[in-house]
Amino acid sequence: MSVADLILGFVLVFISFFVLLYSRKFPHFVVRGVRLPGPSFFPRILAVLLLIFAAYIFVEQFLLRKRRVSQEKHRTEAKSLLNLLWISFMVLFAFPLANLIGTFIALTGMSFLLMVVLRSKWYESLILSFSVALVVYIIFGVIFKIPLPEGIIFTKLR
């Protein structure tokens, strides 16, 4: 049994009970006499999911697996460290790049570069990157009508 997993399970239970207790104070959402899911709906769903994950951790630790704690130390490979640095670099520059060239192009370019660096085929990377950027644009820009950065370059072209 891993002590870290046990602590994580207890923390998840504590957080979920706190969220369930606190979300009871949220106002009810009633429209024309019909009670609809209000502001407490999403936090309660998350709290229940946290309880389920905590229960899974406890069941896994106590009943399903009797793990042997190995004393082997795993070496961190240079390749894994470079991948982590590359991903961190791309995430760090996501918003400034989106403000410069626009969200759609920035998201497509960054996800394409990440997939190529992580050794995906270039044509699969391009198709998936374009698809992800298009889905993000449709969901946030079209459906929810959230203004996404167009970029300085395209704003000046108008």
Tell me the range of 2-11, 14-23, 67-76 where mean pLDDT is highest.
Answer: 14-23
pLDDT value at position 71? 42
Over residues 24-50, the pLDDT tens digits come to: 888 887 888 888 778 888 888 989 999
For the chain, the domains span 3-64, 78-157
Residue 147 half-sphere exposure toward CB, CA atoms < 13 A: 4
Separation in Å, CA 101 to CA 7, 47, 83, 118, 135: 45, 39, 25, 24, 18
Cβ atoms of residues 57 and 81 within 8 Å: no
Q: Which residues contact 4 (CB under 8 A, 6 or more apart)?
A: none
Q: What is the pLDDT of residue 69?
A: 45
State the pLDDT at residue 125: 95
